[in-house]
Amino acid sequence: MENTKVTLIYWGLSLFVFLALIPWIFNQAIALYSIQALAIYGGVIVAFLGGIIWGREGSSTSSKNLWLAIGFSLMGLGVSLVTLINLSASLILLILSLQAFLYFEKRKSTYFQANIKYANARNLITNLVTICCVTSLAFLYNPYT
């Protein structure tokens, strides 16, 4: 089961990388759609991660954690909605959301703490997606495009 989770995490990363590379290859019209898709996809992922908390069993499931799960799900929705108004702000909010969830998971998830392969994959993927977001922000503020 752990290998499946790790494999799916890497497959999810591939779409982030693909969407982050498109702006640097194609024209600006396609680039903006690609960055919007990256931010919306990221928002969906944050909402999904928030929902994972509901399925956890054991001592890590508390009333506070369930409220945090709702908060992460709403942050994911917020990232997706802000994308329609301010693309840069949505990418920054996405970075903050992903890093906050990783921090939460490191502190509260017994599964994260017990499965080193999963923990390493989650750390790596969160940081690589953050790099994808920063790369997209760099494209948006690139004076040569």
Question: What's the CA dihedral at 51, 80, 121, 62 to 10 degrees?
Answer: -30
Q: Which fold has domain 2-140?
A: Butyryl-CoA Dehydrogenase, subunit A; domain 3 (1.20.140)
Least Cα distance to 65 among 50, 75, 76 occurs for 50
Domain parsing of the chain, residue ranges? 2-140
Encode pLDDT of 64-119 as tens digits: 888 888 999 999 999 999 999 999 999 999 999 999 999 999 998 888 888 898 89
The whole model's pTM is what?
0.90
- The owner of tokens 């329609």 is 84
Encode pLDDT of 120-134 as tens digits: 999 999 999 999 999
Rg (CA), the chain: 16
Task: Report how far residue 118's alpha carbon sits from residue 1's, in angstroms, rounded to the nearest whole number.
Answer: 10
Least Cα distance to 16 among 142, 143, 124 occurs for 124
Task: Report how far residue 4's alpha carbon sits from residue 132's, in angstroms, rounded to the nearest whole number.
Answer: 23
pLDDT for position 4: 83
